[in-house]
Amino acid sequence: MAVLRKIRHFVWGEVPATKTERRLLLKIDWFILSYCCLMYFSNYLDRSNVSNAYVSGMREELNMRGTQFNQINTIFTCGYIVGMIPNNLMLQVVPPRIWFPSMQIVWGVLTFCTSAVTNVQQIYAIRFFQGIAESSTFVGTHYILGSWYKPGELGKRSGIFTSSGLIGTLFSGVLQAAVYTHLNGVSGRSGWRWLFIIDGVITMPIALYGFLMFPDVPTTTKAFYLSEEERLLSCERLESEKDKDIEHGHLSWNIFRRILGRWRWYGCSLLFAVSGETESFGSNNLMGQWLKAIGGFTVPQIDYYPSGMTAFAIASTLACATWTDATKSRARWPVLVYMSIAGIVASICILVWSSPIGLKFFAYYLAGATYAGQATTFAWANQICADDHQERAVVLASMNMWNNVVNAWWPLVFYPATDAPRFTKGMWAMIGTCIATLLVTWLVWYLERREKREKAQQQRAEAEDGAEKRSTAGEADEKSVKSHAGSSRRSHESA
């Protein structure tokens, strides 16, 4: 039994102290993670479908040329940047159970529209507005997770959530291959058009589930499946965490002065702006473009084979998130070291063009490790900003926003479709990005340690000052008692 408890603690975190807390954790795990993971799954399914459609007939049917595929991704990224912070701030004033599903319906309708486009310019317009709607999901969910879970519970839940997006990528390749095989030409529609129709059909029921079942945040939840005792406990168990701010809503106008006066916004934004670009192997479907460019592979194979990278990304994400939660210090930085080293090794293997195809397959699959830092980086930011819920919302949104600001032009410069199959510039850029990630990781680690040290010193000084005041007050009371006693004696002697 002791071994089983240790395994359970490693895999799922600390065992709740009471039966009520165990029941609460089970409920929020089910209803929060199930909806957020399904939402992110459909989100990433849509994003990946564009890449898979491009190598499955869309390029030829829409007569796409040059870097138009990269331009589609760039325009989507611009919409994503525009929507990021407004979406996260809207969660402060509109219930998440309303906002999340509403945005999901918007991008679901636009996904249906993509199946009917006749030229690439129409895709440009659709993808911009899809970017605005889809930007609500990723950072919004990390904000919600940070609102419900303790630090020791947060990493693996973030990992599960992030993995659901990767599963969407994995499923997209399998789905596209199946659609191309069985639906291509049905009702006069190409296989890639059917892909977007099926994506939209998957998205809508998930949005309905969110409207009905999502519990908002602990201080505002009215979920019918939570008892009054569980609602109170959801707040109390977080209030017991040191420096945890569980308030929600009521935006204050000094929020930006407060945020810009600290290092957190700068450090965390820089960290993900840089480290997020290590995901370029997968986000630009470099392996699929490589397979198509070198020839000798069928369309289903081009859709299937990159799934190996995604599978390794899922395994790395879950393993790293679980391990960081199990450590006493909840240190997240080792994951960024691991993914940076993996990215450097993969890039070198691909740069050596005379290497066998088997080694390049290995390199692309190893590159899946670069996704491992996504969940732990946002869990780290949630921990750093735990004492200010408004700052946490803005910092989480800004991290993804600045990453997408870079990502708006990064693929055009370093991973244009015309560079397939070698992507020489891109591989050198990846090596530089991984080295920069190591440096920024050290910087954030140092700044966090310095802040904790200063806070501890301040708390000690306040405790010593309080003790000194109590001591002074005690001495004054003692003198007062002695003076009163002496006065009483003198009065007695006079009598």
User: pLDDT by residue (tens digit) across 348-391?
Assistant: 999 999 989 999 999 999 999 999 988 889 989 988 998 888 88
Distance CA 286, CA 32 (A): 33
Within 13 Å, how many C-alpha atoms sit on residue 376's CB side? 29
Q: Measured between alpha carbons, how far is 335 from 314 in angstroms, rounded to an integer?
A: 14
Quote the CA–CA distance of 159 and 315 in Å, as a whole number. 10
Inter-residue contact 142 to 396 (CB < 8 Å): yes
What per-residue string of b and e applies to 472-481 under the rule 16 or more CB within 10 Å gives b?
A: eeeeeeeeee
Q: What is the pLDDT of residues 54-85, one digit of tens each?
A: 878 888 899 988 888 888 988 998 898 899 88
Token output for 390: 């408004």
What pTM value is reported for the model?
0.75
Structure-token match 């990224």, residue found: 77
For 190-222, b/e burial (b = at least 16 CB within 10 A) is: bbbbbbbbbbbebbbebbebbeebbbbbbeebe
pLDDT tens track for 107-144: 999 999 999 999 999 999 999 999 999 999 988 998 89
| pLDDT at res. 65 | 86
Is pLDDT of 226 > 60?
A: yes
pLDDT for residue 142: 87
On whether the CB atoms of residues 313 and 374 are closer than 8 A, the answer is no
